[in-house]
Amino acid sequence: MGKMFRQEGNCLIRELHGEKLCIEPWGKNSLRVRAIMGSEFINEDWALDTEPDSCDGVTISINEQEAIIKNGKIRASIRYDGLITYYNQEDKVLLKEYVRNRRELTRYCSTLNLEAREFRPHLGGDYALTVRFESDPEEKIFGMGQYQHGYLNQKNCRLLLEQRNSQASIPFAVSSLGYGFLWNNPAVGEVVFGKNLTEWYARNTKQLDYWITAGDTPAEIEEQYADVTGKVPMMPDYAMGFWQCKLRYQTQDELLSIAREYKKRGLPISVIVVDFFHWTNHGEWKFDPDYWPDPEGMIRELKEMGIELMVSIWPTVAKDSENYEEMNEKDYLVKNDMGITTHMEFTGNLVFFDATNPGARDYVWQKVKENYYDKGVKLFWLDEAEPEYGNYFFPLYRYKLGPALQVNNIYPRLFSKGFYDGMKESGEDQVINLVRCAWAGSQKYGALLWSGDVDSSYRGLREQLPAGLNAGLAGIPWWTMDIGGFLRGNPDDPDFRKLLVRWFQFGVFCPVFRLHGERLPHQEPLGSKGGGLFFSGADNEVWSYGEEAYEILKKYMFLREEIKPYIKKLMEDAHKKGNPVMRPLFYDFPEDETAWEIEDAYMFGPDVLVAPIMHEGMDKRKVYLPKGAKWRNTNTDQVFEGGSWVECTAPLAVIPVFTRQGGSVEFNI
C-alpha cells in the first residue's frame, strides 16, 4: 500500500488507477491540491501566481494506510483509498471528502458508488470534473464574489460559476468552521453548498486544482488568501471622494457645465465620467471629435478644478471599425468554435477582443494610451468585462488560452491586467480602474468591482449589501455600485427620490462613493453615428431630485469628506494586508455568535457599524451591536453596551450608524 504514496520535495504524491494527486504547501497554513488523469500537471497557476511566503516546518509522513502532510495550522490526511480529510492545529475536522462506496468499510458502507473526485471524460479529450465534500448543516459559507440573490450566507445556495452582467464569480469561500477554500479553476461550472454535501463542478477541464487554508479568525484566513493571490495597490486619494456619473454626458460642453456647477455650488467632487458612445465606433477607442473636440483642454480644466476624468472603455470591436481587419488577422479577437462570429448585436455586429492574448491586451492598451492616457486620462471604466455575450452559450467561444468552457471566468482579470501593466509601465504607481466583473486575483491589478446594471428598486438596493460584502470576502476590497440603481428611476418621482436618498446614504459608507444610473425619461440621440448615436438618460446630479433630497445628499457628501482620513487608513490596511473595507459584523467580532447571523448591517472598517434603511416606508429599525465594545449612535450621541439590540429612529435624513468607543473615528449624522 505504501508504494502508492511518495514524497517529492515538499509535495505529497499519490498515484493510483490513472490519477496523479499532489498536495503541497502553498503559503502560510495552506495547501494546494491538484489531481490529473495522467502523469504531468498543467503548467498554470491561475489565481495562485503571487509568490507565497516560504513554508518552513512542513512535515510529511507515509505509512501503509495513509499519508499526512502538515503545514502550520493545517494538516491533510490521505487514506489508502484516496479519501482526503483536512484538520486544523486542534485536530478539528475542517473539510472532508464525500465518498459513498463499498470501500468505506471503516466508517460506512454504501452501494451508491459515488467518488469524491470524479473525472468524467468527454469524447475526444478532457473531462467534466466533480469534487464532493461532506457537509456540516450548521456551517456558514461567505464570499464567492457577487451574486444578485440577496443572501450573505451562501450555505444551501447553488451558484453558477459563470461571469454575467451583475454577477462576478470569484470562487473563494470563507467558512465559519475556520477555513478558506479557493476553487483555482476558471472553467464554467457551478458549486452547490448543500445541506447533504458540497459539490464543485467544472463542465470541461483538464485537472483538479484548489487551495485550502486554515485560520483562527476570518481576518487571518483573508490575509493568507491575499498573500497568495495578491493585494490591491494603494488607492489614490482622489478616488476616496465623490464620483459623478450618469448615462450619459453626450458632449464635452455638457460634461464641463456639470463640473462647473458642482464647483459653483461648493460641493466636493473628485471624479466625473465620460460614459460609452463618446467614441467614433466600437473598437476604435478614441473621442469622437464632433462631440469632444478638445479632450486635452477639457481634462486640463477639470484638473484645475481638482476633478479627475474617467473614460468608459469597452472590449467590443465593430466589424466596420478601423481596427477590425488588423485585429482579426493577428488573432486578437475571440473566436467561435461554430457558427458566425458575432458576439453581441448592439448598434451593429460586434466581437470581443481576446483579453487572454497578451498581444491583444498590449494592442488595445497602445490605442488607449495614445488616445486617452497621453491626453491626461488616468482612470478607466472597463465595462462589459464579463464579457457580456449576447448569448451566454459558452461552448460557442474560444480564446487563445483555450475554449471558453475551460477558461472563460478569467477574462475580466486579464482585461484588468492589460490596463494595469500598461499604466505601470507608463509610470503610474496607484492604479485603479472600474470594472464590471472580476475573478480571483483581479484585486492586484487595481480592479474596482461594481455590481453592474442592477434594478432601481428597494429589492435592488437590498441585494447590493450582501453582494458587496461577499465580494470583499472573496478578496476584492474595492467595491461600489450605481447609487440609485441603474435600470429605470425617474428623478421627478417622489418615491424614487426617497429610494435615491437611502441608496446614497449607504453609498457614503462603501469603498467608493459613486452616483450613476440610466434615469427616465431618455433624451434623444444627437446624431446617427459615432458619439451621437446613442440616447442619454435624464439628469442624475445631486440637485436633480428636488430641494429636500438635495439638502440631504449635500450633507452626506460633506460627511464623506469628513471621514476621508479614516477611509485612507482602511485603504492602507487593504493594500498591506488584504482586508476588505466593508465586511460582515463577524469579521471584527468572530467570538460573538449573533454577529454571524446579521445580514442587514455591516462594519465599514473596524470602528464604524452601518445599518442601512433598505425597505420602502421604513423610518426605524433594530440594530445589533456586537459584544466586546461600547457603541455610540452618531445621530443621538447615546452610548450602548455591546451584545445588545437597539431600536433606531431613521427619518429620511438619517441612516443608523454607530462608532466604536475608543476607535479611530468620530462624527455626527
CB atoms within 10 A of CB 59: 11
pLDDT beyond 70 at 102: no
CA–CA distance, 44 with 32 (Å, rounded to integer): 13
**Residue 190 is a catalytic residue:** no
Q: Decide: 448 and 510 in contact? Cβ < 8 Å.
A: no
**Residue 222 is a catalytic residue:** no
**% the chain with pLDDT above 90:** 92
Residues 6 or more apart in contact with residue 403 via CB below 8 angstroms: 204, 337, 395, 397
Q: Which candidate in 115, 126, 386, 482 is catalytic?
A: 386
Residues 6 or more apart in contact with residue 550 via CB below 8 angstroms: 542, 543
Mean pLDDT across the chain: 96
Q: Decide: 483 and 212 in contact? Cβ < 8 Å.
A: no
**pTM exceeding 0.95:** yes
Query: Region 523-528: what's the mean pLDDT?
Result: 96
DSSP 283: T
Give, in words, the CATH class of 2-229.
mainly beta
CA–CA distance, 634 with 556 (Å, rounded to integer): 13
Residue with cell 460609452: 276
| Candidates 3.50.50.60, 2.40.50.140, 2.60.40.1180, 2.60.120.620; CATH matching 584-660 | 2.60.40.1180
Q: Decide: 558 and 551 in contact? Cβ < 8 Å.
A: no
Q: Decide: 384 and 355 in contact? Cβ < 8 Å.
A: no
**% the chain with pLDDT above 70:** 99
Q: Decide: 315 and 274 in contact? Cβ < 8 Å.
A: no
Burial of 33 (0-12, 13-18, 19+ CB in 10 A): buried
Q: What is the four-CA torsion angle of 200, 204, 206, 207, rounded to 10 degrees?
A: 0
Query: Region 94-123: what's the mean pLDDT?
Result: 79
pLDDT at 103: 59
DSSP 164: B
pLDDT beyond 70 at 484: yes
User: pLDDT for 8-34, tens place per residue?
Assistant: 999 999 999 899 999 999 999 999 999
Burial of 243 (0-12, 13-18, 19+ CB in 10 A): buried
Q: Which candidate in 126, 383, 384, 463 is catalytic?
A: 383
User: pLDDT for 162-187, tens place per residue?
Assistant: 999 999 999 999 999 999 999 999 99
pLDDT beyond 80 at 399: yes
Backbone φ and ψ for 187, nearest 5 degrees, come out as -70, 150
Q: Per mean pLDDT, which range of 56-60, 338-342, 652-656 is the poorest?
A: 338-342
| Candidates 3.20.20.80, 3.40.640.10, 3.40.309.10, 3.40.50.720; CATH matching 238-314+356-393+407-577 | 3.20.20.80
Q: Decide: 328 and 343 in contact? Cβ < 8 Å.
A: no
pLDDT beyond 80 at 442: yes
CA–CA distance, 313 with 368 (Å, rounded to integer): 9
pLDDT at 108: 60
pLDDT bin (cut points 50, 70, 90) of residue 290 is: very high
Q: Which candidate in 220, 384, 453, 463 is catalytic?
A: 453
Domain boundaries of the chain, sorted by first residue: 2-229, 238-314+356-393+407-577, 584-660
Would 2-229 and 584-660 be classified into the same CATH topology? yes
**Residue 126 is a catalytic residue:** no
Query: Region 130-155: what's the mean pLDDT?
Result: 98
pLDDT beyond 70 at 390: yes
The three cell numbers locating residue 45: 497557476
Q: Decide: 452 and 434 in contact? Cβ < 8 Å.
A: no
DSSP 542: G
Query: Region 121-150: what's the mean pLDDT?
Result: 95
